[in-house]
Amino acid sequence: MAARYDRAITVFSPDGHLFQVEYAQEAVKKGSTAVGIRGTDIVVLGVEKKSVAKLQDERTVKKICALDDHVCMAFAGLTADARIVINRARVECQSHKLTVEDPVTVEYITRFIATLKQRYTQSNGCRPFGISALIVGFDDDGIPRLYQTDPSGTYHAWKANAIGRSAKTVREFLEKNYTEDTIATDSEAIKLAIRALLEVVQSGGKNIELAIIRRNQPLKMFSAKEIESQVVDIEKEKEEAEKKKSKKLI
Amino acid sequence: MALENVCNWQAPEALSPHLPGAGDWTVPRGYDRLGFLQTQGPELAHGTTTLAFRFRHGVIAAADTRSSCGSYVECPASQKVIPVHQHLLGTTSGTSADCATWYRILQRELRLRALREGQLPTVAGAAKLLSTMLYRYRGLGLCVATALCGWDQAGPALFYVYSDGTLLAGDVFSVGSGSPYAYGVLDRGYRYDMSIEEAYTLARQAVAHATRRDAYSGGSVDLYHVKESGWERVSREDACMLYIRLQETGEQEEETTPTSP
């Protein structure tokens, strides 16, 4: 009986791949899209909300979670795995405050989550976590940060990124549209996040969940109405841009 | 013992060696333990005067240099202010060996964290670390009474840590057998907005007065200053000469500024 649990599940293939980790990344690609944007004075997280069943209580499905007052994360992949990782991260945030008398830096908690994920790629009898996470927040020095972790345990800092289903499309949209102008103000950064999600989300504003952190302010979750009004603004701007284009043609 | 119970045989007292528990003292066979320790036991080196206070221009740390073991002066020129890193000093009191060891451990911990996080922990963090490390050994006879003096992003910082786990933030601390005498002088002259020279004089006066009255303090007076650019050793002066000098300057000042009756 014990012999079965001695065998590591994540082992190297002959050509140097860790297949379990790569399969975990496939699981992430099946999850609903999440996008993160680092502005000048704001960080934005947007996720695609999966449509809930008729009898399901919408409020209990949350994909954006606060880790501490100044850090929050969104994930793509297996929700149950994410719950475990988020719980451990939240405990670590408080533990760090207790031991070192300072709140965590965004990089510290990202490194903690990444180390946790890596440990599960090198342990007996465990499979890797099937989630990628986008972690955003402000440090004490007032600089906004966005990090992404993946199931292999690596983490990188990004200006803007997307994970989950259609991440590639969204990332291409961001690469084209993330400029100094589009992140110049907070409202522009928020609009960029919503526009990026609208590229891949089916029914528009209803299926988007948005959260922002401004410098020295706690996490703010947008209500459905606020998202709807942003979407309406975006559509107006699109129409006006198209009218200008057609005028030019004539 | 189990074997004794089974065989119905009691080992005679003389054969089983009584090894001391952790932090305990061995007592010769046949003697009453507490009585022996009270009359013949070793006296740990607690005698000292150290002080630290924080003010606008940093943190001052001063200490005497006499290490005593009972009534015997073990070392008249010991180092009671230990640097931890460039912006952190600790004044030590209690058992010299304990203080020295735990400061090395604190240095190691801070260095590891600096490598991991890319910056040193704050003085508050360092004090917290030391206090939690010491708390694990509570009740086992450690005696470390120290004031951590440092300068971090929040400015000058001062914390008192004791080996029972006490951690206090404050502006003025004095530790050791000479501390009541030092507090008398410090409380009279301390202001946050002192100039650097005033602070040096105050610290020297406080330790000098303590060495005069406390038998377990003496030797020389060490003076350190933690500034924004790091710690600096200001001076080491013989305690007796310093006391005489301070008395003379005091008398001169009184002559020039006579107080009206």
CA-nearest residue of chain B to A109? B117
Listed residue (B213, B197, B163) closest to B47, CA to CA? B213
Task: Provide the pLDDT for residue B126.
Answer: 96
Query: Do B125 and A108 make contact, defined as CB atoms within 8 angstroms?
Result: no
Q: Could you report the predicted ipTM of this complex, rounded to two decimals?
A: 0.74
Query: Do A101 and B122 make contact, defined as CB atoms within 8 angstroms?
Result: yes
Task: Provide the pLDDT for residue A1.
Answer: 47
Q: Token pair for residue A178?
A: 């993330």
- pLDDT tens by residue, A96-139: 999 888 999 999 999 999 999 999 999 888 899 999 999 999 99
A-chain residues near B128 (CB < 8 A): 98-101
Question: With respect to CATH, is domain B50-251 assigned 3.60.20.10?
Answer: yes
Q: Write out the H or E segment, with its range, that includes residue B73.
A: strand B72-75
- pLDDT tens by residue, B172-193: 999 999 999 999 999 999 999 9
Mean pLDDT along residues A190-217 = 90
Minimal C-alpha gap between A99 and chain B (Å): 6
pTM beyond 0.90, yes or no? no
Going by C-beta distance under 8 Å and a sequence separation of 6 or more, which residues neighbour residue A125?
A4, A5, A6, A7, A8, A9
Task: Provide the pLDDT for residue B67.
Answer: 87
Query: Do B121 and A105 make contact, defined as CB atoms within 8 angstroms?
Result: no
Domain coordinates in residue numbering, chain B: 50-251
Domain coordinates in residue numbering, chain A: 19-46+55-240
| Percent of chain A as helix, strand, coil, to the nearest 5 | 45, 25, 35
Q: pLDDT-based confidence at A238, cuts 50/70/90?
A: confident
Among candidate residues B26, B39, B48, B92, the one labeled active-site is: B48
Query: Do A102 and B128 make contact, defined as CB atoms within 8 angstroms?
Result: no
CATH homologous superfamily for the domain A19-46+55-240: Aminohydrolase, N-terminal nucleophile (Ntn) domain (3.60.20.10)
A-chain residues near B117 (CB < 8 A): 105, 108
Listed residue (A158, A56, A47, A62) closest to A106, CA to CA? A158
| B257 labelled catalytic | no
Rg (CA), chain B: 23
Q: Token pair for residue B144?
A: 């470390």
Which of A98, A99, A108 minimises the CB distance to B117?
Answer: A108
Give me the percent of chain B exceeding a pLDDT of 70: 87
Give the residue, B14 or B125, on which the prediction is more confident: B125
Q: Is A127 helix (H, G, I), strand (E, B) or coil?
A: coil
Name the interface residues of B facing A (CB cutoff 8 Å): 113, 117, 121-122, 124-125, 128-129, 132
